[in-house]
Structure 1
Amino acid sequence: MPDTAPLVKSVRKQVSDEEWAVRVDLAAFYRLVAHYGWDDLTATHLSARVPGEDAFLLNPHGLFFDEITASSLVKIDYDNNVLLDGGYPVNQAGFTIHSAVLSGRPDVFSVAHTHTRAGMAISAQKNGLLPLSQTSLRFYNRVAYHEYEGVALDHSERDRLIGHLGTHKAMILRNHGLLTAGESVSEAFSLLAYLEKSCQLQIDALSGGQELQMPTPEVCEHTAQQFDKFSPLGSRDWPGLLRKLDRMDPSFRD
């Protein structure tokens, strides 16, 4: 018999309606990251606050993203105490990164961190994200950078990480990957989708061997300000993304 992920007993009756709704959205986020190929085996992590509690939800470290369900998510507080586990340990680098952003930015509800091929490639380029397209102009002067310090296991890095993020909702972790911070799960996903596409486009454009055409700084800033008016993102696309997942495999709701 093939090995399968262990069944996790539903925690639906152990949590509030508000927490359950967030669990379903965050589990959907994990499934979407897997669907679009942005996952990295059991590495990387997505989080969301628990409404009304000083805690957040994180993936159980050992499940693949396409196995995660609403019930399997781990509830953890900001002192690294597990309040409701999903049968697996917590990714400690994930705790460091997500506890930093969620504790340091009260306006942020959900955080995403990935190690995609394109994201890591851009993170290794000295000039960072370039204003090459309408998609990337969303992040013009609106993406932060954090220098690489090693695997994020040192809790002292949290202060520097949140300091570098500042008021931005997107950050490139140098020599590491991407991070987005949204006012909702859907916004964190949308920002990640646009940032990932911007990185992919930059790699494609640079590989063409031709001189690059970029808009003027004035046009770049004008376009970024136009995108600012659309914030927060995600609410329009999210219901359709959930319908997509329901057609594929609705077990994320378990």
Structure 2
Amino acid sequence: MNAPKANIEHWSERVDMAAAFRWTERLNMHEGVANHFSLAINEEGTRFLMNPNQMHFARIRASDLIVVDANDPETLQGPNAPDPTAWGLHGGIHRHCPHARCAMHVHSIHATVLACLKDKRLPPIDQNRATFFNRVVIDEHYGGLAFEEEGERCASLLTDPKQKVMIMGNHGVMVIGDTVADTFNRLFYFERSAETYIRALQTGRELDVLSDEIAEKTAQELEEYPEQDIRHLAELKAILDDEGSTYAT
């Protein structure tokens, strides 16, 4: 199933990306034929793989992914070229944030609810929430669709390599990471964290927030937890393989 295809470069990365798209749809974290994931394939990070324009996450295969060059506007004229908002947001991030090897942007329900609150902070009320303590940047200045100027503005907020999640106010969430596995794992747990927080707020009862000291300690411990991201994605791919999915074709 995962054997490299002739004349298709970066095959293993493509397979990982396709699996991430399929599971994002399965978890109902997709937005129909909108939203995008990207993965840098050169040292500078300016050439990257991305989903083709207007293809549903549930159908994306490894061979469908297109190559985008953030420094070449002619990319927008190619087959299945990314829409202007994908070019603006992901191109801006890959041009200005070389540490963002992978970027995943979604309008998942609970992260977007959080992005719509006046207070968009995610307090460390349990272990998962502590993962993101001091590791989230909040964009309070939504400026409309992420065309090039808006994408550049968003990219300027992700310059601190420690902050790998951006709550995009009135919009959604952007998660960055070193690999597909690293980034998808972070995206998954951020959405779960936002869901738990929203549900806790719905009780109307007082929140029990961890101390800054314990929250930071927990965040550091989880950052050093061995291979959770790799094993997480490997298990998801194994499930897809068992089901006979076409993601790795």
Q: For residue 46 of structure 1, what is the amino acid of its counterpart? A: F
Which residue of 2 is the match for residue 208 of structure 1? 203
The two structures, once aligned, show a CA RMSD in angstroms of 2.2
Q: For residue 143 of structure 2, what is the amino acid of its counterpart? A: E
CA distance in 2, matches of 1:232, 1:171: 23
SS of the residue corresponding to residue 180 of structure 1 reads strand
Q: Is the 8 A contact 1:145 1:165 kept in 2?
A: no
Q: Could you state the TM-score of these two structures normalised by the residue count of structure 1?
A: 0.87
Match runs of 1:235-250 below 5 Å: 235-250=230-245
Which residue of 2 is the match for residue 197 of structure 1? 192
User: What per-residue deviation string (whole Å, max 9, x for no partner) do you get for residues 67-107 of structure 1?
Assistant: 0111111211112333996x534122112111122222222
Which residue of 2 is the match for residue 131 of structure 1? 124
SS of the residue corresponding to residue 48 of structure 2 reads strand
Q: Is the 8 A contact 1:74 1:82 kept in 2?
A: no
Shift of 1:150: 0.5
Q: For residue 49 of structure 1, what is the amino acid of its counterpart? A: A
Which residue of 2 is the match for residue 6 of structure 1? none
In structure 1, runs of 5+ residues without a counterpart are: 1-10
Q: Is the 8 A contact 1:75 1:83 kept in 2?
A: no
Q: Is the 8 A contact 2:38 2:102 kept in 1?
A: yes
SS of the residue corresponding to residue 73 of structure 2 reads coil
Distance change (3 Å), C-alpha of 1:202 and 1:117: same
User: What per-residue deviation string (whole Å, max 9, x for no partner) do you get for residues 135-161 of structure 1?
Assistant: 0111111101123110101x1233321
CA distance in 2, matches of 1:248, 1:91: 32
Q: Is the 8 A contact 1:109 1:181 kept in 2?
A: yes
Which residue of 2 is the match for residue 7 of structure 1? none
Which residue of 2 is the match for residue 27 of structure 1? 18
Task: Indicate whether 1:47 and 2:38 are aligned.
Answer: yes
Which residue of 2 is the match for residue 217 of structure 1? 212
SS of the residue corresponding to residue 12 of structure 1 reads coil
2:154 pairs with 151, 161, 173, which one?
Answer: 161
Q: How many residues align?
A: 240
Task: Indicate whether 1:13 and 2:15 are aligned.
Answer: no
Shift of 1:42: 0.5
In structure 2, runs of 5+ residues without a counterpart are: none
Shift of 1:189: 0.2
Q: Is the 8 A contact 2:47 2:69 kept in 1?
A: yes
Q: For residue 148 of structure 1, what is the amino acid of its counterpart? A: Y
Distance change (3 Å), C-alpha of 1:100 and 1:200: same
Query: Which structure carries more relative contact order (alpha carbon 8 Å, separation 6+)?
Result: 2
